[in-house]
Amino acid sequence: ADKKTWSDRFEGSLHPAIALFNASIGFDIELIEYDLTGSIAHAKMLAHTGIISDSEAQQLVSGLEQIRSEYREGNFNPGIDQEDVHFAVERRLTEIVGDVGKKLHTARSRNDQVGTDIRLYLRDQIEQIRVQIREFQQVLLFHAENHVETLIPGYTHLQRAQPVSLAHHLLAYFQMAQRDWERLGEIKKRTNISPLGSGALAGTTFPIDRHYSAKLLEFEGVYINSLDGVSDRDFAIEFLNAASLIMVHLSRLSEEMILWSSQEFSFISLTDSCATGSSIMPQKKNPDVPELIRGKTGRVFGHLQGLLVLMKGLPLAYNKDLQEDKEALFDAVKTVKACLEAMTILLQEGIKFRTERLAQAVAEDFSNATDVADYLAARGVPFREAYNLVGKVVKTSLAAGKLLKDLTLEEWKQLHPAFEADIYAAIAPSQVVAARNSYGGTGFEQVRRAIETAKSQLEEP
């Protein structure tokens, strides 16, 4: 960087390796459109308050818009010598509009400027991610509507527990995504506060109007304290937390898809459009997409941890450490968007539920054992007693290589006189599911209601 970046206090120029080390232009160019928008609002505020003239502001605004066009056309490519996007824009502006360009930075610091930029950026990205979450929820809901009466083994400890409606299983993910969507909405509110006008740290001697620039930028409020304004990154940490939770949810679903597509489970098959082959084993079809989503989850967690640690020791107010917030945010945003898109496509066309295999799976296990105990308990046998008795039945059936449905009525009656012929209907998989009709349970009636609830959740603004 040439010494002219800073004031005439500097006589020498930066060591080239240090210039490279210090520069953020390699990544903060991502902020350019937000930086231009922020600068336009700042210029208008300067004219509004009489700090510069209207015609000066007009020149600044048209110069900034010209940079926007140059950038969009691929003709604005500042190099490392520009240090960061803020200097790069100011320098190009002065080339375009002449000396008036040097007035843009009146009553402003890069500290409140960069704070403004990342908030404008993040608020925009949050909205884009929320739209993607809606698309993800739509496809979950689509499958849920088609599979209310498709049963799938339900697990605890990854051991067969009780069968559930496949729709119920998918709607669990719908509700996780709903919380992600809501959480981002909350975070957007706290992100959408203007630090502009905080100056370097202490405010400014000029008669600025922070509310005016905030309004132009559609911020919902302004930072009350200038020191806080330039050094707060809580909103970014909150975002990374929300991003991490989105990834947790996508990763759990991915893990299930990976299991389900294995030969051992065979609950889904992968279509050619989303699966990959092996370079050596010709029989293979690999679930690379959910594996990559599961894998990419780690880097988003890393960014959250990184920013927490970055912040913990910082004295007020701005410190250059804060420049490190950007790559973390940019990469987390990019990763979450890519994973949401991939998962949505995977659900749209990458998997097929193997309903015949699912039906077979729920018919051939002991996941109806609770229902036998419930059967007795409903006929006056204390639940714990019934539970112990059924445990014994399972043990002897296992030894005999039988399932509960294979016991004769005589055998049932020997076990307990309360058993009647209706025991067979009570332990049939679809009845086992239908019977769990408590609120939020897997009973078909509940699931149909949950689908209606999900539809109305999608309508929330």
- Closest distance of CB 101 from ligand ARG, Å: 19
Query: Which of the stretches 3-11, 107-115, 168-176, 387-395 binds ligand ARG when contact is defined by CB under 6 A?
Result: 107-115
* Phi, psi for 195 (deg, rounded to 5): -90, -5
Q: Which of residues 70-99 bind ligand ARG (CB under 6 A)?
A: 84
Site membership for ligand ARG, residue 320 (CB under 6 A):
yes
Site membership for ligand ARG, residue 323 (CB under 6 A):
yes
Catalytic residue among 7, 157, 279, 456: 157
Q: How far apart are CA 168 and CA 450, in angstroms?
A: 8
Catalytic residue among 7, 231, 278, 367: 278
Nearest to 349 by CA among 341, 360, 357, 358: 341
- Tokens 């600025």: give the residue: 208
Query: Which of the stretches 150-158, 314-322, 364-372, 424-432 binds ligand ARG when contact is defined by CB under 6 A?
Result: 314-322
Site membership for ligand ARG, residue 157 (CB under 6 A):
no
Closer by beta carbon to ligand ARG, 114 or else 433 = 114
- Closest distance of CB 126 from ligand ARG, Å: 20
* Phi, psi for 404 (deg, rounded to 5): -60, -40
Site membership for ligand ARG, residue 322 (CB under 6 A):
yes
Site membership for ligand ARG, residue 39 (CB under 6 A):
no
Active site residue 251: no
Of 51, 57, 114, 151, the residue at the interface with ligand ARG (CB under 6 A) is 114
Q: Which of residues 172-211 bind ligand ARG (CB under 6 A)?
A: none
Give the angle 241-243-244 at the CA atoms, nearest 5°. Answer: 65
Give the angle 64-66-69 at the CA atoms, nearest 5°. Answer: 115
Q: What is each CA distance from 183 to 229, 240, 243, 409, 457, in whole angstroms?
A: 23, 11, 10, 54, 14
- Closest distance of CB 21 from ligand ARG, Å: 12
- Closest distance of CB 356 from ligand ARG, Å: 57
Structure tokens at 257: 């898809």
Closer by beta carbon to ligand ARG, 173 or else 318 = 318
Site membership for ligand ARG, residue 111 (CB under 6 A):
yes
Site membership for ligand ARG, residue 330 (CB under 6 A):
no
Query: Which of the stretches 108-116, 141-149, 203-211, 234-242 binds ligand ARG when contact is defined by CB under 6 A?
Result: 108-116
Interface with ligand ARG (CB under 6 A), residue total 11
Of 92, 110, 233, 296, the residue at the interface with ligand ARG (CB under 6 A) is 110
Query: Which of the stretches 128-136, 151-159, 246-254, 321-329 binds ligand ARG when contact is defined by CB under 6 A?
Result: 321-329
Site membership for ligand ARG, residue 318 (CB under 6 A):
yes
Closer by beta carbon to ligand ARG, 110 or else 143 = 110
- Closest distance of CB 5 from ligand ARG, Å: 11
Query: Which of the stretches 55-63, 186-194, 292-300, 316-324 binds ligand ARG when contact is defined by CB under 6 A?
Result: 316-324
Active site residue 278: yes
- Closest distance of CB 198 from ligand ARG, Å: 12
Closer by beta carbon to ligand ARG, 105 or else 130 = 105
Q: How far apart are CA 332 and CA 337, in angstroms?
A: 8
- Closest distance of CB 343 from ligand ARG, Å: 32
Interaction site with ligand ARG (CB under 6 A): 24, 28, 84, 110-111, 114, 318, 320, 322-323, 326
